[in-house]
Amino acid sequence: MREKSEAEVLEAVCADMRLQGTMSNAHVNMLVTRFGQRVNKALEALGESRIKKYVFQPSGRVVWIVVGKERDYLVMPASDYCSCDDFYYQFDHGHLCYHIIAQKLAESLERFDLFEDDDDFFNILIQEWKQPEEHPPPKKKKAAANSEGTV
């Protein structure tokens, strides 16, 4: 029998939380067992109200944002997508970043900030959210001197 994927485990826990209307210690323990430190970061984001749901009218478009330490991250829960680097480096291993975990927990518990904006504002915001992360240029390595003190 195959092991459940991270997405399946998270969905099962979230479904149970929706039924119970709360997150119990048992839920937290199941999440920590499967996701480790990522759950702590997700719970921190949840506790700090860093999960945002934008609904644009009249189209009804929905965009989820998780405010991270460095920038805002675009999360698409239906496809388990996040615009963070962790997603790009780990997704092919079935790994969910803490932003996706935080969004799913927030939606299940209905604990997010809701913003309703006009569709005209969507294009402005989406350009901001789609900006790639800025990475510092790689540091150049200094040449090591040999034992005689020459390079």
- 137 found inside a domain: no
User: How many folded domains does the chain comprise?
Assistant: 1
- 134 found inside a domain: no
- 108 found inside a domain: yes
- 25 found inside a domain: yes
- 86 found inside a domain: yes
Q: What angle do CA 103, 104, 105 make, to 5 degrees?
A: 95
**Spatial contact of 36 and 9, defined as CB atoms under 8 Å apart:** no
Q: DSSP character for 24?
A: -
Say whether pLDDT at 150 is over 50.
no
Q: How far apart are CA 7 and CA 71, in angstroms?
A: 24
Instruction: Note the pLDDT of residue 70.
Output: 82
| Mean pLDDT, residues 108-134 taken together | 85
Q: What is the pTM of this model?
A: 0.81
- 99 found inside a domain: yes
Say whether pLDDT at 151 is over 50.
no
- 138 found inside a domain: no
Q: Which of 3, 4, 6, 30 is nearest to 16 (CA)?
A: 30
* Residue span of the structural domain in which 114 resides: 6-129
Instruction: Note the pLDDT of residue 60.
Output: 94
- Structure tokens, 135: 């990475």
**Per-residue pLDDT tens digits for 19-41:** 999 999 999 999 999 999 999 99
Instruction: Note the pLDDT of residue 91.
Output: 62
- Structure tokens, 38: 């990522």
